[in-house]
Amino acid sequence: MDDLVRYELDGKVATLTLDDGKANALSPEMVAAIGAALDRAQEEAGAVVLTGRPGRFCAGFDLRVLTAGADKARPLVEAGAALFMRLYGFPRPVIAACTGHALAGGALLLLCSDWRAGVRGPFKIGLNEVAIGIPLPVLVQRLAGDRLDARRVSEAILLATIYDPDGAAAVGYLDEAVDEGELLPRAQERATALTRLPRRAFAQSKASMREASISIIREGLEGDLDKILMAGQA
């Protein structure tokens, strides 16, 4: 886990830093490492900060695996979808500290987090599925509908618009865009404040708010897999 996801516990806040030395793609190993870190955080932390390497938050699914044939791509997409749903329903507050580019699956990590800050800079944030030839999965449609400004959902996902951090904050991928040097302190400050929420009330309320979307996404997963795999083999 430490090779891909660094885990640090400070008080009640667990910080998970994704760093594969490259684009932080969601490879099978990265997905497993994030899951293992969440296992630990669920046992010992009151809140989670999810962050990346400088300039790269997450580039989405590893394209080398997606284009390597259905026998390799399908398990990765299934595991990734399970990770997104785990984050979306995670019983502790999840804070995203977006360190740079966050495209496709990286943008979904932002949508699955409870509160999101991003560093200002020449970074790209958004869901570009249509632009790369993937018909919009139910997972993307539902998460975008839940978390983005309702007036701008079509612009964001149907038109595959990519934003800079300030634009991403305006449309709803982020809650705040901050200057360099302020990102982690701001995220950890917010996470520390959220550890004071009563755990049971938070967990039950979050589950109640999101169970309908999670159920719909899981029901549509097979269709989503077919869309993504067919695009990957084209």
Domain for residue 228, yes or no?
no
pLDDT surpasses 80 at 223: yes
| 20 in Cβ contact with 27 (< 8 Å) | yes
In a domain, 233, yes or no: no
- Residue 203 maps to a domain: no
Output the domain CATH number for residue 145.
Answer: 3.90.226.10
Structural domain count, the chain: 1
Going across the sheet that includes 125-126, the strands are: 55-58, 100-103, 125-126
So what's the pLDDT on residue 112?
A: 98
pLDDT-derived band at 210, boundaries 50, 70, 90: very high
Q: How far is CA 148 from CA 55, 75, 180, 185, 231, in A?
A: 23, 28, 24, 25, 25
Residue 69 pLDDT > 90, yes or no? no
What confidence score (pLDDT) does residue 234 get?
Answer: 53
The band of 230, judged by pLDDT with boundaries at 50, 70 and 90, is: confident
Residue 189 lies in a domain: yes
Q: Residue 190 falls within a domain, yes or no?
A: yes
Out of 128-132, 171-175, 193-197, pick the least confident. Answer: 128-132
* DSSP helix/strand/coil, 47: strand
| CA trace torsion 158, 164, 168, 170 (10° rounding) | -110
Assess if residue 91 is contained within a domain. yes
Is residue 221 assigned to a domain? Answer: no
Q: Is residue 142 included in any domain, yes or no?
A: yes
pLDDT at residue number 199? 97
Q: Evaluate if residue 19 carries a pLDDT over 70.
A: yes
Q: Which domain holds residue 173?
A: 5-194
